[in-house]
Amino acid sequence: MELLRRLRRQHDEPRSGDDSGAAELVIRRAASRPRPQVAILSDDGASDLAAEIRARLRKATVVDLPTSMDAWERHVRFVEDGPFDVVVDHTLNHDERLAQLQDLHFLARPGGVMIIRDGMTSLTGREDAPFKAQLELLKAGHRGETRRPTRRRDPLWDSIRLGKAIASFDVEGEHLVFTRARMLALAKLDEAAMNLHLERTGRLAEVITSVPAEQFRSRCALTFNAARRPVRQPEVYDVPELSLRVHHDAVVAPGQVVVKDGWVLPESYRHNLHDRLRNRQVIDLAPRFGRPRYDQSSVGALPGTYFHLDSEFRGHFGHLLTEQVSRLWAWPEVKATHPDAKVLMGTNRRRPEMMEYEYVFYEAAGIAREDIVLTKEPVCVERLYGATPMMENPSYVHPGLGGIWRAVGDALARDSAEREWPERIFLSRHVDAKRACNNQSEVEDLFRAQGFEVLLPETFSLPDQVQLFRKAEVIAGFAGSGLFNIALVDSPKRVISIGSERYHAANEYQMASVQGHRMAQITCRPDHPDDFHSPYTFDHEREGPWLAEVFSSLS
C-alpha cells in the first residue's frame, strides 16, 4: 500500500501557514488563471464552498450541481461549461467516491486538478472502504504496473486508464488532489442527453422530426420452461422518443463512430439506453468518457448529404436485421428532403467490402445499390442524418418496426423460387458455431420425428429464406440469428427456440412481440455460466417433458 503510506506521511507532515480548508485550496489552485473555471459536485447543489469561491474570485465561473440531479443531465451541464481548472468532489458519501472520481477527473483540463474533499477521511477512517483499493490501482495504472485484464469489460480497465490520466497525486490537509494528465477524452452522449444538450445550447445538431414515446404491450404469446419469466422479455415495453437529427461537419469512422465538437454522439452506440455506453471502436475511459480509436490527424472530407447506417458489426445478418433496419424509419424523409442523399457505412476487419446479400436486402428496403457508400477511413461529413433506432436489445422495440420488416419481406419474397415449401422447419447451426448445442444431432432427431425438416438457413438465398419462413406453419431452431427471419413473415407463426440460459439476448422475443407470434422458449444449462457464448446441453430428463408438451400442442 505504498500510495497510502505516502499520502498519510504527507498528511502528518507539519504545514506552516497552509490552510487545509477546501475553499483555500480551490482558490489557491484556481487563482493563477485569469478567468478560472470551477466545477463542484455537492450534496445539495448550493454549497457554502461555491458561495465562498464566487465571493473571493469575482471573475470565476462556478458550476455547483447536486448529486440528486439525473447523472446524465449533470454530465451534460458540466461538460457544456468545461473544461475546468478545478473540479471538486464536495460530497459526504464516501462510498460513492469511487464512481464519482472516474467521470469528474475528465472534466478537468490538462494541468487542472481534481480535489476530493476530506479524501483522507475516506482513507484513514474507513478500514474496509473500497476507495483505498481504488487509489492503489490508480497508482499502479499510472506507473504501468497493473496487469492487463483479459476481459474487455473488466472493471480494472477503468483504474488503468484513469491512472494514466493522472499526472500526479498529492494531499493538502485533509484533501486529496489529482492533477490531470494530457489525454484526449471525449464526452459520451446518450439519446436523452443529446436532446437535452440541443434544448440547452442548440449546438451539435438539429432535430428534424420526432416520434413520441409510448408504451407497447407485447403481442407475443410466450411460454417457457424456466422457473420464471425472463426479465429481459417484459409484457410491456417503454419505448423512448425517436429522433431524426442532422449534424453538420461531424466525423464518422468505421465501426459506427460519430464524433462532433468533443462529444461521442448517441449514433455511436447500438445499446443506446445503457448506463454505460460502449463501442468497440471507442476506448472506454470512464462511464461517460471515451476516446475513439481512429487517428485524429487523418480525417478526410466528405461533401454531400448522408444517412448514417453503419454498425459495429456491419455485414452480420443478425445485426443488420435488428440494429440497422430499425433506423430505416427515417430514410424516406431524408431521401425526400435530399434526393441526392446517400447511405454511409464503414468497413471492418472481417468484412472489408459490402456483401452481396447486404445489397439485396437494402434494395428490398428501398435503398438503391448506388446509394450505398462504404468508407474505409474517418471522414468529416458535410451533412449527416442520424436516427434513433426503433429497437434496442433488450430494452425496447417500437411496433412501427413491423411495417418495415413486412415491406422488406414482401419485396424479397417476390424473388423467391417456385417450389414446395415444408410446413414444419427446424433451423440448425454449424456444429462449430458459437453457443453450440453439445448434443445437437439428438435435438434434430427429436424434431425430425415430429415431421420437421432440418435446414441450415444460410444454404438458401435471402428471398428463399423469407419464403421458407412465410410458408411454414411452425418454425423451430436454435436461438440466434438463424431464427431472425421470423421478423420478415406476413402472418403470426408458432415458434420454438432452444438455447442456453446464459444467452439472454431478446431479439426473437422482440420480433415476436411485434409480429404476434406464439413462442415456446426452451433454455438449457450452459457449460460455463459466466459465458454469453457458452455451449450447452439439451437435458432429455429436464427439458424433454416440456418439449413433448409443446409438440403435443402443435396438433
The CA-atom distances, in angstroms, between 78 and each of 61, 81, 163, 193 are: 12, 5, 22, 12
Q: How high does pLDDT run on average in the chain?
A: 90
CB of 104 within 8 A of CB of 89?
yes
Confidence of residue 4 (pLDDT cuts 50, 70, 90): very low
**pLDDT at residue 129 in the model:** 52
CATH number of the structural domain 412-554: 3.40.50
Tell me the mean pLDDT in the region 456-485. 96
Preceding peptide of 234 cis, ω within 30° = no
> Between β-strands 494-500 and 474-478, what pairing exists: parallel, antiparallel or unpaired?
parallel
Quote the cell numbers at residue 357: 446479400
Question: What are the boundaries of each domain within the chain?
Answer: 2-180, 186-216+234-397, 412-554
Quote the cell numbers at residue 24: 483555500
DSSP 8-state symbol, 148? P
User: Is the CATH number of domain 2-180 3.40.50.300?
Assistant: no
Q: Evaluate if residue 166 carries a pLDDT over 80.
A: yes
Confidence of residue 117 (pLDDT cuts 50, 70, 90): confident
pLDDT in tens, 14-60: 433 333 488 889 999 988 888 999 999 998 877 889 999 999 998 89
Residues whose CB is less than 8 angstroms from the CB of residue 32 and which lie 6 or more positions away in sequence, other chains included: none
* Among 165-169, 228-232, 348-352, the range of highest mean pLDDT: 348-352
Tell me the mean pLDDT in the region 399-406. 98
Judge whether 2-180 and 412-554 match in fold.
yes
pLDDT in tens, 488-531: 999 999 999 999 999 988 999 999 999 999 999 999 999 999 88
Angle between helices 130-143 and 2-12 (to 10 degrees): 110
Confidence of residue 357 (pLDDT cuts 50, 70, 90): very high
Q: Which of 95-104, 384-393, 523-532 has the lowest mean pLDDT?
A: 95-104
Which alpha helices (H) appear in 373-432, and where do they start and end? 401-413
pLDDT in tens, 207-251: 999 999 999 999 999 999 988 898 899 999 999 999 999 999 999
Which alpha helices (H) appear in 165-237, and where do they start and end? 191-201
